Amino acid sequence: MTIGYVTIGYNEEAQAVAFYDAVLGAMGYERGEVEGGWAFYGKGDAPGIGLCRPYDGQAARGGNGAMLGLKTDTPDQVKAAHAAAMAAGGTDEGAPGFRPPESTSGFFGAYVRDPTGNKLCVYATV
């Protein structure tokens, strides 16, 4: 099985697009045109990421225990994405660093929530 894309709900289109333009842009993703309330981002063969209002018309909200892990190439991209998230209205859920913290190689990640409350992990393996 291959994941083709994931969808993230938003309440405010301009706020969501600005946030993900910053965060995903720091990771090398590019956004296509926003059409019909949808914004899609892509990067080579990586799964796409789509933003939209929930189909059922209810408010978007972050899922408790749900998290999207976004793999990038380097710790510098993790740091850039985290900084972009903070500058674009995100909330810090864990600063960039190795996990576990005493490690010096392996999993290097950062955790943020977007303005809607969706949790993201941006990480690289080194």
Give the model confidence (pLDDT) of 46-81 as tens digits: 999 999 999 899 999 988 788 999 999 999 999 999
| Domain chopping of the chain, boundaries | 5-55+65-125
Could you count the other beta carbons within 10 Å of the beta carbon of residue 107? 14
Per-chain mean pLDDT for the chain: 94
Q: Which is higher by pLDDT, 62 or 108?
A: 108
Question: If one looks up domain 5-55+65-125 in CATH, what number appears?
Answer: 3.10.180.10
- Stated pTM of the model: 0.87
Give the model confidence (pLDDT) of 25-39 as tens digits: 999 999 999 999 999
Phi-psi region of 117 (alpha: psi -120 to 50; beta: other; left: phi over 0): left
Does residue 44 register a pLDDT over 70?
A: yes
